[in-house]
Amino acid sequence: MGRVALRGIRAHLVRFLLSVLAVALGVAFVAGTFALRTMLSGTFDGIVDAAAPGDVYVRVQQAEGSSVVTGTANATGESVPRDLVEEIAAVDGVAHAVPGVSGPIVLVGADGTAVQSTQAPSFALMYVPDDPSLDVVEGRGPQRPGEVALESATLESSGLAVGDTTDAVLGGEVTQVEVVGRVDLGGPMAGATIVLVDAQTGQDVLAPEGGVNDIAVYAADGTSVAQLVDRISPLAPDGLEVVAGDALRAENKTEIASQLGFITTFLLVFAAIALFVGAFIISNTFAMSVRQRMRELALLRAVGASPVQVFSSVLVQAAVVGLLGSALGIAGGVGLVSALRVGLGTVGMDLVGTIPLDVTTVVVSLVVGTVVSVLAAALPARRAALVPPVEAMRDDVATPEKSLRWRALGGLVVTGAGVASLVVALLRPEADSAELWLGSGAAAVLVGVLMLSPVVARSAVGVLAWPFVRLLRPVGRLARGNVVRNPRRTANTAGALMIGMALVGAVSVIAVTAQQSVAGVVEAQTNADVVVRSATQVIPAGAVDDVVALPEAGRADPIAFAPLGVAVGDATPEVQYVIGLDSGTLGGSVEVDVVDGSLDGLGAGEVAVLESAAEEHGWGVGDTLRVSGTGGPQDLAVTAVFTTNILGSPLVVDRGVLDGLLPREQQMVDTILVSAAAGVSTAQLQDAVAETVAPYIVVSVLTREEFVSSLADQVNQVLVILYALLGLSVVIAVLGIVNTLALSVIERTREIGLLRAVGLGRLQLAGTVTIESVLTAVFGTVLGLVVGVALASTLPTLFADEGLSTLVIPWGSLAGMLVLAVVVGVLAAVWPGSRAARMKVLDAVAYE
């Protein structure tokens, strides 16, 4: 039977080709996701190895929750005493002891703009001549203030050359610098902008308090890492720890791997969607193939083939389709990653090495594609095996259609259960299980509607076909009859598009709702006329001081923040971001809703807590939090619990309190809220602020409307990515429509011949096929959009506290999707329609 199955594929190769392509597209995502994750992991592992090449490191003990990935390492603000470098260098077995000093910098490139690459950081390092991890490949290292050396990729992306002079924003001030060298750090930096400064500047600007980030220690020949750790450990005072370089690198790689795991999961979700949609095509293909080959299968039964053998032969064909599609998908996944690597390379983020294609990726991809294909073909195969041979060998072969009664009943039960789950989530949005109820309810509704779709297909298509029936006679009536003749097939074909459009519709509603909610939040919670932001997420200190001093500014409120250790009593500190605000900011530039306590006169010894953080940690008014910084720990009393969508950090203190915890040089300011002085218009204020911050290159000045627009643009960027990923499911759905129409044309060959014989023209026949395609596409799109919009409309109730407060339905976008469905239907009908129109009448009439 295996040989018979393979011959069946060869005899009807075109019939299975689109199914192979559907599997290939889904598997391409699976293979590409695994390959991309491996490549990203290799790239970041290389960055970790290049950034921490030492044999041993002396660093501040890490607080719970600190991470190099989130930038919260050394969150308490403590540093390693610089004097310790000389002591360690004198230890027996130490070849080099290199202090690590770094800080933010903005480098101006040859084109006069800031050197930036994607979202990679821009930072300065102190140049140490005897650092073995640095390789000066051109020029020399910086020796005096005003000199810098650039990392190789940074030099290339900046457009500068050794010997050029440019500006840099360092220590919050604009400084003219000369590029005196090019340095190789021993590995790729994934687009980071890295500038090396001289030792004097490093000490005065990057480490003004006399401390360093860490000390990298390199062992002399004949000294092991363990020996080095034992010899250095007695020198480390309380609060410091000595760790082996291998352990440090492994720790950092583990943190990065956990972040990459999210990316993998995110992409695999879309791969699963694509394969699920592809399963509809495979199932449809084999269902129609079984219908057309009923006599052939009956002959196999008549000459002795058992039902199991017939069943197996169909599954063998499905397995071959799955294997071929998976093989193509693996190649497609490699192609996708290659294209992505080129695209990332153009914006400065280079991924290292060749595209990985390990055994695990290949095996998983082949298994996934094959299993999906076999499962999708199982039901058609069962039908083929159970049809009696005598029934199938009659002249007029007809496969009896089962009643839709039980399917309708099952669909109603599943849909009802899904709706009930959604109602539970909406009635108790504050419950911990609300999101679980929402997710399970949405999935059940989607499955239930898929089960009900054949039941509603006849009525829905009848309504959608009304304009065609009235305006395009007789092709409109013929097309309607062909679509509703087999509601299961129509529903399965439209179901693939329905899934894609349900997700697209839901994403559209969520995106527009998020944009409008953000606009409402900014309008209600921000009283500033102008908002100052930075492309690097940190506004230079000089720019902050200049804006605050502007006479046109009646009030300028910087939002300063820093990661600090926070604990209740003597418990282990956990890293939390703490915001410092000038007196009067709350209730002035920023409006908040007080849930408990009072924000009046928030001052020394007091802290206000965001409601979400209070619920997570069990904090309340009257509790005392111990917050630790370089100035020592402070016990702060919780005086208020509040809600706001403007301030993202969980704790808010007076700026003076934050200054006592951490010097201003180590604090970060990402936003300044500026209100105009009396008699100054918003336009005048914006011009004055823009002129003041212009030398700082990366600082932008936005009106409140422009600020809202910039936040909306961030939503749009995410939306474009989601649309691109969901577009794959729509493409596969289009292939399904093409496949179904092509098989339908083959199935109706004799009928088409008879229609042509009684006078139906070629264009009329092609028009009939096109209308069938459009009706199927529009039916799937309408059903999908209704489900997607309905499900997305429940989210504002559940996530109102997270800022998703204003439900907006994008009617224009939804109408555009309906137009797109018509276009999709027309395009999908081009090949099947032209194939039907080219049939010879006599051959078609004589076709068996």
pLDDT averaged per 10 residues in sequence order, the chain, 848 residues: 60 68 80 79 76 86 61 61 87 88 87 74 86 89 92 87 91 88 79 87 80 87 89 86 88 78 75 78 76 72 77 84 88 81 65 69 88 86 75 54 78 92 85 83 89 88 89 86 84 83 87 79 81 84 90 91 84 84 85 85 88 86 86 87 82 91 84 90 91 87 82 73 75 78 75 79 86 90 92 81 76 89 88 82 64
Give me the amino acid identity at 152.
Answer: S
Neighbouring residues of 480: CB distance < 8 A, sequence distance ≥ 6: 461, 462, 465, 468, 469, 771, 775
Task: Give yes or no: residues 509 and 640 share one domain.
Answer: no
Task: Give yes or no: residues 210 and 294 share one domain.
Answer: no
Q: Of 244, 275, 300, which closes a domain?
A: 244
In 568-712, DSSP assigns E strands to: 574-581, 593-597, 606-610, 624-628, 634-643, 651-654, 668-676, 699-703
Neighbouring residues of 329: CB distance < 8 A, sequence distance ≥ 6: 23, 24, 25, 26, 27, 28, 29, 30, 31, 365, 369
Residue 636 within a domain: yes
Residue 364 within a domain: yes
Instruction: For residue 380, give the H/E element and its range.
Output: helix 359-386
Task: Give yes or no: residues 750 and 765 share one domain.
Answer: yes
Task: Give yes or no: residues 23 and 130 share one domain.
Answer: no
Backbone angles phi, psi at 625, to 5 degrees: -110, 135
Task: Give yes or no: residues 184 and 233 share one domain.
Answer: yes
Distance CA 451, CA 794 (A): 22
Distance CA 340, CA 350 (A): 10
Structure tokens at 383: 């039908």
Task: Give yes or no: residues 479 and 590 share one domain.
Answer: no
Measure the CA angle with vertex 13, ends 7 and 15; round to 5°. Answer: 120
User: What is the per-residue pLDDT for 71?
Assistant: 54
Domain tally, the chain: 4
Task: Give yes or no: residues 276 and 364 share one domain.
Answer: yes
Distance CA 718, CA 715 (A): 5
Instruction: For residue 756, give the H/E element and its range.
Output: helix 749-757
Task: Give yes or no: residues 138 and 177 share one domain.
Answer: yes
Task: Give yes or no: residues 213 and 264 share one domain.
Answer: no
Instruction: Judge if the upstream peptide bond of residue 121 is cis by omega within 30 degrees of 0.
Output: no
Residue 653 within a domain: yes
| C-alpha to C-alpha distances, 204 to 543, 735, 819, nearest whole angstrom | 19, 64, 63
Residue 430 within a domain: no
Instruction: For residue 283, give the H/E element and its range.
Output: helix 245-292
User: What is the per-residue pLDDT for 64?
Assistant: 64
Structure pTM?
0.74
Does residue 148 contact residue 195 with C-beta atoms inside 8 Å? Answer: yes
Distance CA 161, CA 151 (A): 12
Residue 445 within a domain: no
Task: Give yes or no: residues 33 and 69 share one domain.
Answer: no
User: What is the per-residue pLDDT for 202?
Assistant: 86
Residue 127 within a domain: yes
Residue 439 within a domain: no
Q: Of 244, 277, 295, which closes a domain?
A: 244
User: What is the per-residue pLDDT for 687?
Assistant: 92
Task: Give yes or no: residues 44 and 177 share one domain.
Answer: no
| Residue 458: burial class (beta carbons within 10 Å; 0-12, 13-18, 19+) | middle
Distance CA 121, CA 106 (A): 10
Residue 42 within a domain: yes
User: What is the per-residue pLDDT for 785?
Assistant: 92
Does residue 681 contact residue 601 with C-beta atoms inside 8 Å? Answer: no
Q: Of 244, 259, 286, which closes a domain?
A: 244
Containing structural domain, residue 142: 57-244
Task: Give yes or no: residues 340 and 261 share one domain.
Answer: yes
